[in-house]
Chains A and B, each alone.
Chain A
Amino acid sequence: MQIMARTSAVPAFLACLVLLALVLFNAGLVHAAEGGDVDFLSDDFYEEEPETISVYDPLEPMNRAIFTFNDRAYFWVLKPVAKGYAYVLPWEIRGCVNNFFNNLQEPVRFVNCLLQARFSDAGRVLARFLINSTGGVFGLADPATRDLDIPPVEASLGETLGRWGVGDGFYLVMPLFGSTTLRDFSGTVVDALAMTPYYSWSDDFVVNAGIYAEKEVNKISLHLGEYEDLKELSFDPYVSLRNAYFQYRRRMRDEDVFFEGE
């Protein structure tokens, strides 16, 4: 098997186990306030007595430092690069690149849907993958959404662990990656490792890093200006982004529940 042949996969796998163990251990200790469904029409949603901070963020000083680093990296390096990239490539092509990387991840989403017992979502992901890989020419286009009305489904290991009762642990800001939590980041690492058979176009670290960089720059080029807006309008961009991250994530995951349940 391809993965076994790679010596580098073994330490990475061990690192994952350690991370997972940490998360599972942590699960018993910390209960993140993930609570019920979001209902904007309920007054509980704008609860009036929030004495405690809504997010468990014990590493705030470290997170803030990495946040500042990411902020600089964005304005000094990533944004200029993404701008040049956007200037050279029309948005249609950048959209295709985005679709392509998205499509590669569908098998991982499929497995996670199964692990979460979201069987109709799993079917939807599978259908998307088959349709987009063939009709969409290797996933460059997304006819599943456009023509057949099968919208993208999100599923990650972080979410799977959440469904299994593993708490978030705590909020984390990772260099060049951004907002996440201990649980979700561990999930991301494992999800990414599960993708390694795909990335065996090359065993070269530089090539793989290049692929990752292309994927990220492409993503940024499609979202230029969004971070600037958030930063301009906020009093504490760190808190604002942390809050936005949790609200956004909650919507993503609740919406899946909504489709499942109704």
Chain B
Amino acid sequence: MNGESMKRIHPLILALLLTGSLLLVASAAGGTTTSAVPDPTAQMQPFVARITNLLQNEDFRNDPRCERCQQIIDIAKEHFDFREMSKRVLGRQWRKLSPEEKDRFVTLFTRLLQYAYIGKIKDYAGQQVEFTGQRIKGKRAEVKTLLVDRDKTIPVSYIMLLKGDQWMTYDVVVEGVSLVRNYMEQFREILRKEKYAGLVKRLEEKIHQLEQEKMQEMAKPSRAG
């Protein structure tokens, strides 16, 4: 690129910069907020703050038995609707289940998610959560956040349903990948091949496997020590 063509292109870049930023402003202003319903972001912020505070606590992270993990689970239960999640993850199968089976499935699926994410506590290294926007559509809302890590930024969206005056999360979308949809497709194939009983068995096995891994992790000397 020689100097002359650079000069010719320069106003073009400026114009592009301008239109680009105008587009961004326009799309930010387009976000809807209705005053009648509680603000989903305002409800999510203190929740995230409580969790990150807990995670930043040294005693908490170095506690190999994670005795206070229950604390996190309890806080999560105030903001996550595991029943709604289970219902969506099963799709059509859900309606065929008896109330007892439904309860059993919700318990299993909740435990699976707990093991999956509690196991990640040790990896927490001060990542911050930025709230970047929200969308409300009737009783549903999406709260958009960015998980800011040292060398990358991961977009995470929380999909929520308004229950009473509390927004409850029923799906988490990481980099555009919906957790519910991902499990749904896996479960669908298991349901087709092994029926519902097979799915329950697979869930129990997976939970058992994650439990074993956690026990082994606990047996190992703590990384910090």
Contact = CB atoms under 8 A, between A and B. Distances in A.
A131 interface: yes
Interface string B183-198: 1111111100000000
Given A46-B184, A222-B151, A41 B137 contact: yes
Interface size class of B (residues with CB under 8 A): 35 or more
B185 A150 contact: no
B5 to A, nearest CB: 10
Contacts of B185: 54, 239-240, 242-243
Contacts of A40: 142, 157, 159, 171, 173, 178
Contacts of A149: 20-21, 24
Given A48-B92, A239-B185, A251-B175, A127 B17 contact: yes
Interface string A216-246: 0000001000000100111110011011100
B66 interface: no
Contacts of A262: 23, 26-27, 30
B38 interface: no
Given A41-B140, A120-B16, A46 B91 contact: yes
Interface string B15-44: 011011101101100100000000000000
B18 to A, nearest CB: 11
A232 B20 CA distance: 40
Contacts of A38: 176
A262 B182 CA distance: 29
B49 interface: no
Contacts of A131: 13
B116 A232 contact: yes
A32 B146 CA distance: 31
B121 to A, nearest CB: 13
Contact of B16 (A42, A123, A232, A250): A123
Contacts of A50: 91, 188
Given A124-B16, A150-B20, A222-B152, A247 B186 contact: no
A221 to B, nearest CB: 10
Interface in A123-162: 123-124, 126-127, 130-131, 133-134, 148-150
Contacts of A120: 16, 19-20, 23
Interface string B87-114: 0100110000000000000000000000
Interface in B175-223: 175-178, 180-190, 202, 206, 210
Interface residues of A, number: 48
Interface string A41-84: 11001111110011000000000000000000000000000000
A212 interface: no
A239 B151 contact: no
A157 to B, nearest CB: 21
A130 B1 contact: yes
Which of A40, A134, A148 is the most central at the interface, judged by chain B CB atoms within 10 Å of its CB? A40
Interface in B71-87: none
B141 interface: yes
B12 interface: yes
A236 B92 contact: no
A90 to B, nearest CB: 10
18 contacts: A40-B173, A46-B91, A46-B181, A50-B91, A120-B16, A123-B16, A130-B1, A130-B6, A222-B151, A234-B182, A235-B190, A236-B186, A239-B185, A243-B181, A244-B182, A247-B177, A252-B176, A262-B30
Given A232-B116, A259-B27, 5 more contacts: A42-B137, A46-B180, A48-B92, A150-B20, A233-B116
Q: Which 7 A-B pairs have CB atoms at the shortest separation, nearest pair first? A: A251-B176, A41-B140, A123-B16, A41-B137, A247-B177, A243-B185, A91-B151
